[in-house]
Amino acid sequence: MRRQLMKGNEAIVKSAILSGCRGFYGYPITPASEITEAAAQYLPQVGGVFLQAESEVAAINMLYGAAAAGVRVMTASSGPGISLMQEGISYMAGAELPCVIADITRGGPGLGNIAAEQGDYHQVVKGGGHGNYRTLVLAPHSVQEMADLTALAFDLADRYRNPVVVLADGFIGQMMEPVEFPQTATEPRLPKWAVAGTEESRGNLISSIYLEPDKLEAHVRQLEAKYYIAQQREARAEEWRTEGAEVVLVGYGIVARILKAVAAEALAEGLKVGVLRPVTLYPFPTLQFQKLAERVRVFVVVEMSNGQMLEDVRLALNGARPVEFLSRVGGNVPSHGEVLELVRKLARQTLPARQPEEECVGHV
Amino acid sequence: MSNATEAEYEVAHGRPKAFYENFERKDELQHQTHYCPGCGHGIVHKMLAQAIDELGIQNRTILISPVGCSVFAYYYFDVGNVQGAHGRAPAVATAVKRSQPQSIVIGYQGDGDLAAIGSAEILHAANRGENITVIFVNNAIYSMTGGQVAPTTLLGQRSTTTPNGRSAANEGYPLHVSELLATLEAPVYIERVGLGDNRQVAQAQHAVRRAVENQVRGLGFSLVEVLSPCPTIWKMSPVEAQHWVREVMEKTFPLGAFRDRTKDAPAKAAPPAAPALEDISRILGVADEGAVEEIDAEAKGAVDLQVRVAGFGGQGVLLLGEVLAEAGLHAGLQVSWLPSYGPEMRSGTSNCHVRLAREPIDSPLVVHPDVLVAMNEPSLHKFCASVPPGGWILYNGETVPAECERKDLHILARPFTHVADELGDGRAGNMVILGALLEATPILPQASVDAALGQLVKNPRWLALDERALARGRELLRESLQGVCHDG
Amino acid sequence: MTDAGKRDRGLLRVDQDECKGCGLCIEACPPHVIQMMERLNHYGYRTAVYAGAGCTGCGICFMVCPEPGAITVLRLTNRPAGRFDSEAEGAKRCAGN
Ligand SMILES: Cc1ncc(C[n+]2csc(CCOP(=O)(O)OP(=O)(O)O)c2C)c(N)n1
Ligand code: SF4
Ligand code: SF4
Ligand code: SF4
C-alpha cells in the first residue's frame, strides 16, 4: 500500500471521509484548526457538507442534527471549545446519536496557551457534560493511528450510537509520519432510526427527554448496559517491551512516544523497563493493568496534566502496585532526561544486589 | 340530529392529517394536548399541521422541537421529529436540512429559546439564509419554567424575576426579533402575526403556510413570529389573554411583514452530486495509483539518523526537514518530521525534528541530534550542547562562537545563505545546507532526494536552483573534509 | 335544523373528550352559535357545545381552537338527503368520534 508523509491533522480528515463521514461542522481553534481547514477543502469535493459554525455550541448541535438525519458526521476542537460542546455531547449521548469529535488538546485552564497539554482528560474521558453518560475515547500516538483510530471511531460511534472522541495533542496533529489508507471508501449508509424526511422514517423520533423517573431510569440503565459491553469488548492498550519488565511506564499520546524512547535507552542500560500505553481511555484498559500488576513491581504514570489519567490507573490497580507519577503541565513536555532519571532511580531500587547498599546508606 | 340530515354535510375543517390520531407518546389523555386551555401553542400547532396537509409534505417534513412548553411537539405531529437542546433548533435544523436537502425542516421555538439563549443560532441561520422555516412563538415570558422574564417581556410586565415589572434600566428593552432579522440580507420572508382576534388568526394561518411553502419552493429562510397567549403564566382567562395580545402586546410588537422577497427570490441550487465511491481515494490524493515508487534502499544496515533544524521563520527550516523526511520515505525508511510547536513557535523561531530509521521510530522528538542544522547564531547557542560526541553541526555563519566550539564533533560553519546568493537566491541557503547534510550522513540515495525535491518543489525555476544548491552543499562538505585530519 | 328546506350551511361538532373549555371558539364565532355547557365532562372541564342552529361553516372556531381534534366543522353538500355515498359516510365517521 502507498505510504505517504502526512500531518496527523490531515490524516484524520482523509480517514474520516474514507470512513463515510459526509458532514463536518466546526469552529476554529488552535491547534485543531488544520482539521477544520482540511475538512473545508475535501468534504465539498465528496458530496459532503462543511460548515464553519458560529460557535462550538452551534457546531455540536449541528452534529446533533446531521447525526439525527443519518449522516456520519464529525467536528474538531480543543480545550475551551470542547467545554462549550459538553451540553450537546450529553444530548447526543442521551439521544443515542453517533458522532466523532477530534480533540487536539491545548493548555488550560481558561485561555491557557496553545501548547500541548493533556488537561482535557477529565472533561472528555469522564464525560464533562451532565448526566449519566460516557463518551468512548481513543488516544492515537502516531499519524497512522490518527487515521486508523478515526476509522475505528466512526465504527464504534455507529455500533454504540454514542459520541466517540479522538483525543490527541498538538504534536500528533502537527507531525508528519508515513501513513497508509484503505483504498476502498466506506459507503455512507442511512441508519434505520434516522429522521431522514422520508415516508419510511416518518415515525422516527430523536429525543433525550424522559419525563417519568422510571422511564429515565430505564433509559440510563440501557445506556449503562451499552457501556458495559464496550468495556468488555473495546478496551485496548499497547504493551511495549513489558516482558520481564519491573518498571512499567504509562502514558498516552505524544508522552507514550517519549516513554518508548526512554524505555529503549533504559533497556540498553540493562534496566527492566517497559511501556503500557492505553489506546482507549474510555473504556479504560483496566484488565491489562491488572494482568501486568501480577508481574511488575511499580508503575510510573507520566502525563502532561496534574494527574487526570493517574486516577484511572490507580483505580485499575486498586492498590495492587505502587504508582509513581511524573507530571508536566503548561505546555511543557516531560523531557527524555527527567523520565530516564526517574526510571533509573526506580529500577535501581528493584535490583536486589543494590538493596544492602541502600540499606547501608540508610543506616549511616 | 338524524343520520339522514348529517349525511348532507361533509367535513370542511377537521383534525389535520399531519397530527397523530392518538398521541401515543403521551402516557395519558392521548387525545388531548398537554397545553393549558387557551394556549397559543395549540393554535400554532394546528396552523402548521394544516399547512403541512395543504402542501402535501407530511412524509418529507422534519420538525425540530425546542425546550420550552412546546418541547413535546413531537407528541402530536406525525412527521419526522427531532427534539433539540434549549435554543439550538436553528443549528440542528441547519444540519438536518443540509444533510437531507429534500426534507422540509421546520424549527419551532419559544421566545426564551430563540431570543435569549439561542440568539446566536437564529441570527446565523438567518444570515446564512438556510432554507428552513422557523415558527417563533412569542408569549413574552418563560412559561415552561414558571414565568421568568424573557427578552420579549414588555416594559413594566411582571414576571417572577422582575417582580416589580421589567425595567429598561435593568433588563433592557423588549427585543424585536423580526425587525432585527430583517436587517439581514439573506432572509426571504419575515412576518410578525398575532393570535389576538379572528382577523389576526386568519393572517397568522396564511403566514405560517407561506413560510413553509417558501421552503418547498427552495427560496430560503422564512420566519413567522406569532404573538401568542399564555393564559396560565399571564394569570388571565384564555379570552382575556387573547385580548391582551391585541390590545397590549401588539403595541410593543407591531404586526406586519418585515421582509418579503417571496416573489423575486430565486430557488436555491441543488447541491452538486456526490462522486462515485471508487473516486474518493483519488480525490483525497491517497490512491495507490500515482504514488511515487519507493525504492528498496540497498544498504540494509542499521540506520538511525536524528536531525534538528533550527532558525528563524522564512529560512526554509521546515522545508529542509520535509525534503529530508520525504527522501527517507522514498528510500524505504521509517521517518518522522515534527515542526516546532507551542511556546517554541513564539518570537519567530522555527524549528523541526527529523528522524530517519530502519526500525519503527519511538519518539519523534529529537533530544540529541546526530546533526544539528543551526541557521543562525541564537539557534546554535540554544542547541550546540545537545549534539553528542561524533555528531555534526552545520552552522550558517562564518565562525563558530567560542562558547559553542567543540572538539569532540564535526562542525561546518559557512555562510550558506551567501553561497546561495551567489547561486541566484539566498533563500536556497536551506538546500545548500541540506546538500552538506546529505553528504555528511550518506544514507540516502540521490534518486530519493531527487524524488522528494520533485514532489515538494513544483516551480521548475526553484527546482533547478534547489538542485544546484544541493550539489553545492555536497561540494562544500567534501572540501571541508579534505582539509580535516581524520582521527581514528 | 328548523326547516328541512332551509338548512344551515354549516354544522359544528365538539368532541366532549378533547375540548378543554377555553371558550376561544365561543368568543370567535361570528353568529354566536357556540355555548358553554353547564355540565362538566369527565375531566372536569365545562366544554363548548353547538347551539344547534345558525352555523355558517366559516371554520373560524376550528382555527382558534388550540386542541387538534376538539372541533370539526362540517359543510352542507349539494347532495340531497338520504344518499349515502362513500364521501359522506367518511365525513360522518370523522365527525362522530
Ligand atoms: C441550557 C438550559 N438552560 C435552561 C433551561 C431551562 N428552561 C427550559 S424552558 C426555558 C424557557 C422557555 O421559554 P420559552 O422559550 O419562551 O418557551 P415557552 O415555555 O414560553 O413556550 C428554560 C429557561 C434548559 N432546559 N436548558
Ligand atoms: S404555560 Fe403558557 S405557554 Fe405553557 S402550555 Fe400553559 S399556556 Fe401554554
Ligand atoms: S364554523 Fe363559524 S359559524 Fe360555525 S360554529 Fe364555527 S365559528 Fe361559528
Ligand atoms: S376552542 Fe376548542 S378547547 Fe376551547 S372551548 Fe372551544 S372547542 Fe373547547
C37-55 pLDDT, tens per residue? 998 988 889 999 999 999 9
> What is the model's pLDDT at position A349?
80
Please indicate, yes or no, whether residues B231 and B310 belong to a single structural domain of this protein: no
Do B439 and B336 share a structural domain? Answer: yes
- Chain B residues in contact with A213 by the CB 8 A cut-off are none
Distance, CA of A248 to CA of A274 (rounded, Å)? 5
Strands A280-282, C71-76: pairing is unpaired
* pLDDT at position A206 over 60: yes
Domain count of the fold of chain B: 2
**Domains of chain C by start residue, with CATH:** 3-94 (3.30.70.20)
Give the mean model confidence (pLDDT) for residues B44-64.
98
Task: Check pLDDT > 90 for residue A363.
Answer: no
Q: What domains sit in chain A, N to C, each tagged with a CATH number?
A: 4-233 (3.40.50.970), 237-348 (3.40.50.920)
Tell whether B308 is covered by a domain. yes
How large is the average pLDDT for residues B166-195? 98
**B231: domain range?**
12-260
- Is residue B1 in a domain? no
pLDDT at A219 over 50: yes
C:4-63 residues touching chain B, CB 8 A cutoff = 7, 10-11, 15, 17-18, 20-24, 27-28, 30, 43, 45, 57, 59-60, 62-63
Mean pLDDT (chain C) is: 82
User: Among B80-94, B146-160, B164-178, B348-362, which stretch is predicted with the lowest mean pLDDT?
Assistant: B348-362
Mean pLDDT of B191-212: 98
Which of B260, B292, B319 terminates a domain? The answer is B260
* Ligand 3 atom nearest to CA at C25: 7
The arithmetic mean of pLDDT across residues B29-51, rounded, is 96
C-chain residue closest to B44, CA distance: C66
> Is A295 a residue whose pLDDT tops 70?
yes
Residues shown for chain C: 97
Instruction: Return the amino acid letter for B357.
Output: A
Rounded mean pLDDT of chain A? Answer: 95
Q: Residue B399's pLDDT is what? A: 93
Q: Are residues B297 and B253 in the same domain?
A: no
CA distance B297 to B443: 9
- Which cell numbers hold the place of B263? 416573489
In a domain, B265, yes or no: no
CB pairs under 8 A between B and C: 143
Q: Nearest CA of chain B to the CA of A157: how many Å?
A: 18
The CATH number that applies at residue B30 is 3.40.50.970
Q: Which of A77-81, A348-352, B1-5 has the lowest mean pLDDT?
A: B1-5
What is the rounded distance in angstroms from the CA atom of residue B252 to the CA atom of residue A80?
39
Atom index in ligand 4 nearest the CA of residue C24 equals: 1
Q: What is the best residue among B33, B143, B175 to mutate for testing ligand 1's pocket, by most ligand atoms within 8 Å of CB? A: B143
Does one domain contain both B335 and B245?
A: no
Phi/psi for A6 (5° steps) reads -155, 150
- State yes or no: chains A and C have 3 or more CB pairs below 8 A: no
Q: How many CB atoms lie within 10 A of CB B185?
A: 8
Dump pLDDT digits (tens) for B65-100: 999 999 999 999 999 999 999 999 999 999 999 999
Q: Which three cell numbers stand for residue A288?
A: 491489562
Q: Are residues B290 and B197 in the same domain?
A: no
d(CA B183, CA B203): 23
Contact B225, B191 (CB under 8 A): yes
* Cis preceding-peptide flag for A213 (omega within 30 of 0): no
Q: What nine digits make up the cell of A169?
A: 495533542
pTM of the predicted structure, to 2 decimals: 0.94
Edge-to-edge order in the sheet of strand B222-227: A205-206, B80-83, B61-65, B104-110, B133-138, B222-227, B189-194, B256-260
B382 assigned to some structural domain: yes
Most distant pair of Cα atoms in chain C: their distance = 40
ipTM, two decimals, is 0.94
Lowest mean pLDDT among A174-188, B233-247, B280-294, B326-340: B280-294
B389: its cell numbers? 560526541
Please check the confidence at residue B112 and state whether its pLDDT lies above 50. Answer: yes
Instruction: Say which residue, B356 or C84, is predicted with more confidence.
Output: B356
Closest CA to A142 of B303, B322, B335: B335
pLDDT of residue A38: 98
Strand segments, DSSP code E, in chain A are: 4-7, 23-26, 49-52, 73-77, 99-105, 136-138, 163-169, 176-179, 205-206, 237-240, 247-250, 273-278, 280-282, 298-303, 323-327
Find out whether A223 and A231 touch, Cβ atoms under 8 Å. no
pLDDT of residue A58: 98
DSSP B179-236: HHHTTSSS-SEEEEEE-SSHHHHHHHHHHHHHHHHHHHTT---EEEEEE---HHHHTS
Decide if pLDDT at B38 tops 50: yes
Q: Is residue B7 part of a domain?
A: no
State the average pLDDT over residues B351-357: 97
The per-residue pLDDT for range B423-435, each reduced to its tens digit, is 999 999 999 999 9
Residue C81 confidence (pLDDT) above 90: no
The answer to the question of residue B267 being in a domain is no
Q: What is the pLDDT confidence band of residue B345, given thresholds at 50, 70 and 90?
A: low
Work out the average pLDDT over B102-126.
Answer: 98
- For C42, nearest residue in chain B (alpha carbons): B29
Look at residue B2 and tell me if it is in a domain: no
Q: What pLDDT is recorded for position C94?
A: 36
- Residues framing ligand 3 (Cβ under 6 A): C 10, 12, 28-31, 33-34, 55-61, 73
Cβ neighbours of A25 in B, within 8 Å: 95
For residues A39 and A23, give the distance between their C-alpha atoms in angstroms, rounded to a whole number: 9
Residue B226, pLDDT > 60, answer: yes
B428 and B466 belong to one structural domain: yes
Question: Are residues B205 and B350 both part of a single domain?
Answer: no
The pLDDT of residue B398 is above 70: yes
Same-domain check for residues B252 and B324: no
Query: From atom 6 of ligand 4, which residue's Cα is the shortest distance away?
Result: C25
When pLDDT is cut at 50, 70 and 90, the band that residue A230 belongs to is very high
Average pLDDT value for residue range B217-228: 98
For residue B487, what pLDDT is reported?
42
Mean pLDDT of B252-259: 98
B298 and B221 in one domain?
Answer: no
Q: What is the CATH number of the domain that holds B311?
A: 3.40.920.10
Q: A16: nearest CA in chain B?
A: B284
| H/E stretch holding C25 | helix C24-28
Q: Please list, in sequence order, all residues whose beta carbon lies within 8 angstroms of the beta carbon of residue A57, skipping any fewer than 6 positions away.
A: A84, A85, A87, A88, B88, B91, B120, B121
* C-alpha cell of residue A37: 481547514
**B325 in Cβ contact with B354 (< 8 Å):** yes
* Mean pLDDT over each residue of chain B, to the nearest integer: 94
Print the SS3 string covering B52-75: HHHHCCHHHEEEEECCCHHHHHHH
Query: From CA B64, how far away is CA A69, in angstroms rounded?
Result: 11
What's the first-to-final CA gap in chain B, in angstroms? 120
Exposed (0-12), middle (13-18) or buried (19+): which is B389, by Cβ within 10 Å? exposed
Q: Is the residue at B183 inside a domain?
A: yes
Q: Where are the alpha helices (DSSP H) in B7-116?
A: 40-55, 73-76, 89-99, 111-112
Q: List pocket residues of ligand 1, CB cut-off 6 Å.
A: B 67-70, 86, 110-113, 137, 139, 141-145, 150
Ligand 2 binding pocket, CB closer than 6 Å: B 35-36, 39, 41, 69, 139, 143, 230-233
Q: What cell does B92 get? A: 440542528
B255 and B285 within one domain: no
pLDDT (0 to 100) of residue B293:
76
Averaged over B36-49, what is the pLDDT? 98
Residues B230 and B295 in one domain: no
Residue B483 has pLDDT above 70, yes or no: no
B217 and B105, same structural domain? Answer: yes
**Ligand 1 center to B86 CA (angstroms):** 6
What's the confidence (pLDDT) of residue C6? 77
Going by pLDDT thresholds of 50, 70 and 90, the confidence category of residue B292 is confident
- Among B428, B410, B418, B421, residue whose Cα is nearest residue B470: B428
